[in-house]
Each structure stands twice: as structure tokens, then as C-alpha cells.
Amino acid sequence: MRAPRWLFGARAWLSRQPRGWASQLAWAALPGLVAFLVYFLTLEREVGWADSAELALQAYRLGATHPPGAPVYVLLARPFTLAFSEAAFATNLLSAASASLAVTWMSLTLLELAGMASVALLAPLGFAFAPLVWPLAIMTEVYGLNLAFFGAAVYALLHWRRTRSSIWLMLCAVIFGVSIGVSTPNLALLTPAFLLAVALSGPGWFRRLLLFGGLAVLSGGLALSASLFLARQAPPFGTAYPLEGLVDLPAYVLCFECPTVVWKGADFYLPRVVEFGRLFAANYAWVGVLLGLVGLIWAWREQRDLGAFFTALLVCDLGYMAYFPSWEYYRMAAPAYYTFAVCIACSALLVRQARRGFLLPLLVLLLAGMAIFHLLSQYPEKRERARSQPVTRFALASLQRFPPQALVVSEWGTYTVLLYFQELHGARPDVLLIERAPRRRAYDFGWVESYRELIRGRAAQQPVVVDRREADLAGEFDFQPVYKRWLLLLPRVP
């Protein structure tokens, strides 16, 4: 039985491609603008915990961040902080603009690969509102900006594959190199895939590989070395590597104080893989996983170098982040989420080749359904969060309740928030803030070899406030509640 004629008409309409560069750019900008509007409406209006507060503070001070550093992020965020009265809002806005730009790059990439305007509109929107991507666009973190650089590098690489213009290969190398100054893990996790794509480019591959590698190393080295300049303006705080000179740069960039190659055992990784798999599948409304695998099959069948490129990106990024012992591992795999969203869109190419009139309209409906489902299911909660300021209320209330001249010891997530309000808002300059860290740390006032020894040495001279009870201190101090999690240490009388 033949399919109705209108289905073939719909298939032809959905396969349309914008004509000309200006038309393609305008079409690709559409999903980016839609994403930015939604991001802006749900943008967090306050500072975030942990690295978010540190990045906002150091962007305002034009300073270096904790190892391995994010100098390109700081340099690009600095103008945003000058344009707004609240540094955290400015850096949150940078995340929204960057993620929206990544959506636009994805749309351009899909027009380059598939040439279907409908797919180039809907697949990027499904990515933009995915549960693991949307949060990265409304808070201060490096991941949104890294996605923008990654998307630009992928587009430049694919455009070079089609045109064979060396300019685009050089541009890809420079963009990718600079991205290492946004997210240093790109150096280890994404480099193999880009080198593989160039190596599989046919005759003359070795010369092109040297060109790409040389430019990437040069631009990446310059980007990373910018941390030396930033450290002179405002050194990183709460770190064992304050980056005092060029000799400190390797240990700083390689993050010697936070070793990541640590085997945690099967009892850790088996639940981790199950959890990551569930999060990954939910990120694409489950049905997207099947579509992504179909798109990956198409890439291997029709363009093996492209299939190898996508596979290497997914294996390296997802594999390492599943192994990485950090609570926010799922956020760090943003390039893999971007890559798989492109694979989902590529499934349209295999569907179009099937010459079944109903398949392409059905696929477009699935893509639209994924985007709408993610948008409607998350928007109310994120809109409500944008209207509240729990972090600000907690930080200011805590600072008000600390005793005069107190030494306050807290974990990294809280320490950076308190420091943000102390430095940028002048809140409680009499309070001395340090991180509850197991290793030695450098601060503006000097080195702290052990926070416990500092507590013991100062408890008799000034009030000491901590954020949790510790067994090592329980035998020497009593704990008096101050506010919420905060406890005042009272030395016991022998």
C-alpha cells in the first residue's frame, strides 16, 4: 500500500535546505536566539556555590583560578563583570550567551552535514533544553563557554572536510587550542578525536596533522600561560600551587594537588556506570539514545572518518568522566552530549535514504517532542529558582552571625561564597576565611600547613567557627551552635 501523497510532500518540505550563506546563518541563529530567551528567563540571579563563586570573583578581579586554571574564561568574563553591578549575574549571563552560541554552531554543523532546515532547528533545541545541558547555561561555570569553543571547532573541522581549505583547518586548530584555556581536560579528552579526524583525511594527512598539531599546541600554550599574567593580578586562593612563576606552571596546569588517576574499585564504578547511563539516557528522553546510535551507524557506513571522529569523542569523554571520582562528573561530559545530539540529528540522513514517506516526518515529530518535553518539564522549576536567592540569604545571614574577628573554617563550596561577599560586597572584613582542606593551602595572609593546627593555635586568641563536627577536634573543644550548620568551638578547660 502506497503512502498518501501528502506524506511525500511533507518529506520534501522537511528536507529543504536554506540557500546561501546568509540564509543558513539566519536559520542557524534562530534556535540560538530561542535558547537564549529561555536561558535568560531562567537565569540564576545570584552567585552559586563552590567554583561558581570563585570564577565570578576571579573574573571581577582578573585573577587566576584554582588548578588547572581557566585563563581564557576569566579574560572573556572580565568585560561582562564590568558591564553589570553584580559579578555573579554577569558571569551567569556569559554562560547563557555561550551555550546559546553553541546551539547556533550545532545548527550550522547540521546544515553542513544533513542540509535539512527542520532537523537543524529542532535537534539543537532538544540539546539546549536537555536536563544535563540547561543547568550549565544558567549558572557560572566553564562548561557553557567550553561548549561554544567546542562547537566552533567541530564546525570548522567539518567545513574543512568539505572544502579542503587549509584556512578552515588552521582555524579549527586555533579554536581548539584556545579552548584548552577554558577547560584543560580538552587537552587529554578531545585531542585524540581531532587528530584522528585529520589523520584519516586521505593523502597528505601527515602534513595536515603537523599543521593542526603545531597550531593547536601554540595557541593552547599561549592560552594556558595567560594564567601567569592573571596570577600577578590576583593569585589563586585556597590552593597548594599559587603560581608564583613559570616554574610553577606545569604543576599548576597538570593539577598535581588533585590527582585524578585513582582507581576506586569495582564497588564504586559499577553503580557509577549505571547511574551515568541512566542520566545519559534521560538526557535524550530515552528514545534519543536509539536515534543517536542510528546516526552513528550512518556516519560509519557513509563517512568512516566522521564515524571515527564521533566515536572517539564519545568514548574518550564519556569513558573518562565515568571513571573520574568527582560528584559533578556528569557536568564535565558536555562535549560528549553535544556530539551525541549531532548523532541524533544524523539519523535523519539514514531515514531519508530509506525513502519511506512517513519516516522523516515521524523523526521530525520525535525531535520536536523531545525539545518540547524537556522545555515544559523543567521550565517551571527553573523559573522559580531564578526568582529566589537562597545562596545569598544563607551567606549574608551567616556572615552577620559570626563573632567579631572570628576564624571561619568551611568546605570549598561555602568558603568561596563567603569570600565572594567579603571581597565584592565588603561584608565582614574582620572575619578570616579559610578552606577546610586536607593539604597545605596558600592564602593572601600566608600558608596554612594544617587547618586543624591553625584552629588549635588560634582558638585561645579568637573565636573559631567551623561548619561541621570533627572527631579530631571533639576531644579538645565543645561545639556551640551559631546558625544553621555553623558551630562555635569552645576550648575545654582541663
Q: Which of 322, 352, 387 is the last residue of a domain?
A: 387
- Characterize 365-393 residue by residue with b for buried, 16 or more Cβ atoms within 10 angstroms of its Cβ, and e for exposed: ebbbebbeebbeebeeebeebbeeeebbe
Mean pLDDT of the chain: 90
Q: Cβ atoms within 10 A of the Cβ of 429, count? A: 8
Under DSSP, is residue 267 helix (H, G, I), strand (E, B) or coil?
helix
Predicted pLDDT of residue 154: 97
Q: Which of 329, 354, 387 is the last residue of a domain?
A: 387
Predicted pLDDT of residue 260: 61
Residue 305 lies in a domain: no
Report the distance separating Cα 12 and Cα 3, nearest Å. Answer: 14
| Same domain, residue pair 419 and 446 | yes
Predicted pLDDT of residue 107: 96
| Same domain, residue pair 473 and 426 | yes
| Same domain, residue pair 375 and 462 | no
Residue 97 lies in a domain: yes
| Same domain, residue pair 149 and 213 | yes
- H/E run at residue 320: helix 304-323
Residue 335 lies in a domain: no
How large a percentage of the chain has pLDDT more than 90?
69
Residue 292 lies in a domain: no
Encode pLDDT of 226-241 as tens digits: 999 999 999 998 788 8
Predicted pLDDT of residue 4: 52
| Same domain, residue pair 376 and 416 | no
Complete DSSP assignment for 389-401: -HHHHHHHHHHHH
Residue 295 lies in a domain: no
Q: Cβ atoms within 10 A of the Cβ of 189, count? A: 24
Predicted pLDDT of residue 188: 87
Set of cell numbers at residue 26: 539566519
Q: Cβ atoms within 10 A of the Cβ of 83, count? A: 8
Encode pLDDT of 256-303 as tens digits: 777 666 677 778 888 888 999 999 999 998 999 999 999 999 999 988
| Same domain, residue pair 138 and 155 | yes
| Same domain, residue pair 97 and 51 | yes
Alpha helices in 114-248 (DSSP H): 117-128, 143-163, 166-179, 186-189, 191-199, 205-233
Report the distance separating Cα 141 and Cα 327, nearest Å. Answer: 15
Identify whether the C-beta of residue 375 lies closer than 8 Å to the C-beta of residue 129: yes
Encode pLDDT of 113-128 as tens digits: 877 888 999 999 999 9
Encode pLDDT of 368-420 as tens digits: 999 999 999 999 999 999 999 999 999 999 999 999 999 999 999 999 999 99
Predicted pLDDT of residue 302: 87
Under DSSP, is residue 266 helix (H, G, I), strand (E, B) or coil?
helix
Residue 444 lies in a domain: yes
Pair type for strands 486-491 and 477-483: antiparallel
For 25, the domain range is 12-261+363-387
Residue 448 has phi, psi (to 5 degrees) of -120, 110
Burial label for 1, CB within 10 Å (0-12, 13-18, 19+), is exposed
Predicted pLDDT of residue 221: 95
- How far is residue 489 from each of residues 405, 421, 448, 449, 494, measured CA to CA in Å? 14, 24, 19, 20, 15
Encode pLDDT of 79-91 as tens digits: 999 999 999 999 9
- Characterize 143-174 residue by residue with b for buried, 16 or more Cβ atoms within 10 angstroms of its Cβ, and e for exposed: bbbbbbbbbbbbbbbbbbbeeeeeebbbbbbb
Average pLDDT score over residue span 456-462: 91
Average pLDDT score over residue span 25-29: 91
| Same domain, residue pair 29 and 93 | yes
* pLDDT exceeds cutoff 60 at 443: yes
Number of structural domains the chain divides into: 2
Phi-psi region of 204 (alpha: psi -120 to 50; beta: other; left: phi over 0): left
